[in-house]
Structure 1
Amino acid sequence: MTTVGFIGLGIMGSPMAAHLVNAGHEVVGFDVVPESLTKLAEAGGKPAASVAEAVAGADVVITMLPNHPHVESVVFGDDGVLQNAKEGTLLIDMSTIRPESSLAIAEAAKAKGIRVLDAPVSGGEAGAKNAALSIMVGGDAADFEAAKPILDVLGKTVVHVGPHSAGQVVKAANQLVVGGTYALVAEAIVLLEASGVDAKTGLDVLAGGLAASRILDLKRDSMVARQFQPGFRIDLHHKDMGIALAAARQADVSLPVTGLIAQLVAAARAMGHGSLDHSALLKVTEQLSGRG
């Protein structure tokens, strides 16, 4: 049994923490939302009153937070991980943040004797609930091997992709592909419907051919039905596209389609759809076509 300090018990973190409890680990969790702490207690975990309390006796600390300012505050703050975790603790940041933030955290933690992995995930709320996440891990190989029994509880695809920050770069690539796929599925729906073709039937055919994708498998029916309950919010995908563009600038490469997708996601947010699922890119395409 491993003692896990879990920081961030939201849509993703809450079911992930519950899986760790069910696997026999002692999970001490913290979140700023009281209801999240209640959920953890109901799942068999131990709520903490602060980050410091959650990490003080932990062998492993997992952070699952919205953006780099939240992660940096939790890691670097006086109440945070570096000030309160014991030497030798393994910090696994499963948030999606800037690669440079992951590097800075790893460097600062090394001076404290704390090991760090960046391990962002793909799969959304459904993946978290079903313990079916894809987890892309950056950091030292030995630390990855130490973390793998924990990560295997949370995901079906767990891969060490390179040194510190490599996980965040792979996640940026994931998000640009996901955003681009949603945008094209949205255009396919608009084209089919405007041409008098049943969109569900059309997408069913596409899903059985070369155009097949996880997004078509999981989201084609809900998109056609205009059901956009968030599994992953437009607001968060907007943040992630900014990370992808910044990573492209850092790597000195041109990603023109990524730039276009980022603007479509930004348009969805500007239209007031930030709280909807990222499949709501369909609403942007409809608006551009005068069919919204």
Structure 2
Amino acid sequence: MTNIGFIGAGVMGAPMIANLVSAGHSVRGFARSAASRERIAAAGAAVATAADDCLESDVLISMLPDSPDVAAVYLGERGLARSVSPQQIVVDMSTVTAETAIAVHDAVGAAGGSALDAPVSGGEQAAVEGSLSIMVGGEPDVIERVRPLLEAMGSAITHVGPPGSGQLTKAANQLIVATNIAALAEAVVLLESSGIDVGAALTAIGGGLAGSTVLERKRAAILAGTYRPGFRAALHDKDLGIVAAAARREGIALPVTAVVSQLMAALLARGDGELDHLALLKLARELNGRAG
């Protein structure tokens, strides 16, 4: 059993906490909203009254929305990075910029602790199943010390390089997912416009080279025309901003990603940012005069 402090209990964080508890670990969680605190309790973890309480742990894990949230928790005059103890490990599983991840790593290291950036992929369903793909940046020996915890939340744990590498890998992942959804959305509109049985067609497509985890996970929602958020379009828009900043920094062109990023931005501009990122299908349908 490991004593874990966990900060953040949203759509992804709450089931991750539940899986850690189910694996026999002792978890104390903190979240700002009352709804998130209720999710912590429902997951079987103790509810902390302040983020600082989560420092009373061997490992501190965070799952937060964006880079400013992570910076607010760990960096600055009252950041938790200043208070970590020697041998304590910080695992930030949020999706943030590589620069933020490196800053947290360095600040924690300066205080005597160790830090990993370990963003995840798979969405809400994989978080519930404990089958997330976890891409980890940091020192190999630190990863091995927390591997049992990561295995409680994910089925694929991959060390991808030094600090910040996990976040760069996640940026590439989000590029692929967004492009996949956009292409799938247009394929569905093409099928619908042609009067073909969409369900049968998707089954055929799923069995071939165009099959994907995106198609498998989104198939039921496509056929039902529902957009309940498993991963909000607003968060994917944020992630594509991270991709764009990284591409500019490296001086590379990503033209297909740029087009998809504009489509995702359109969802936010029209008020659909709180819907699932599958709302790209809603947009594609409406662009072609069809009900979203």
| TM-score bucket (shorter structure) | over 0.9
Q: CA deviation at 1:186?
A: 0.5
State the partner residue of 1:288: 287
Q: Secondary structure at the match of 1:274?
A: coil
State the partner residue of 1:12: 12
State the partner residue of 1:190: 189
State the partner residue of 1:176: 175
Q: CA deviation at 1:79?
A: 4.7
Are 1:50 and 1:79, in contact at CA under 8 Å, matched by a contact in 2? no
**Residues paired across the two proteins, number:** 291
The 1:138/1:66 distance shift into structure 2, 3 A limit, reads same
Q: CA deviation at 1:291?
A: 2.4
State the partner residue of 2:204: 205
Q: CA deviation at 1:131?
A: 0.4
State the partner residue of 2:217: 218
1:21 matched to 2:21: yes
Q: CA deviation at 1:119?
A: 0.2
- RMSD, matched Cα: 1.3
Cα separation, 2, equivalents of 1:38 and 1:212? 38
Q: Secondary structure at the match of 2:273?
A: coil
State the partner residue of 1:106: 105
Divergent runs of 4+, >6 A: none
Cα separation, 2, equivalents of 1:272 and 1:245? 22
- Paired amino acid for 1:112: A
Q: CA deviation at 1:127?
A: 0.8
Q: Secondary structure at the match of 2:91?
A: strand
State the partner residue of 1:253: 252
Are 1:122 and 1:171, in contact at CA under 8 Å, matched by a contact in 2? yes
The 1:112/1:20 distance shift into structure 2, 3 A limit, reads same
Cα separation, 2, equivalents of 1:122 and 1:160? 14
Cα separation, 2, equivalents of 1:290 and 1:114? 56
* CA deviation vs aligned residue, 1:14-33 (integer Å, no higher than 9, x gap): 11111111111111110001
Q: What is the TM-score with the length of structure 1 in the denominator? A: 0.96
Q: Secondary structure at the match of 1:218?
A: helix
Cα separation, 1, equivalents of 2:90 and 2:157? 16
Listed as ranges, the gaps of 5+ residues in structure 2 are: none
State the partner residue of 2:137: 138
Cα separation, 2, equivalents of 1:290 and 1:85? 56
1:17-166 matches, within 5 Å, as: 17-55=17-55, 57-166=56-165
Listed as ranges, the gaps of 5+ residues in structure 1 are: none
Q: Secondary structure at the match of 2:90?
A: strand
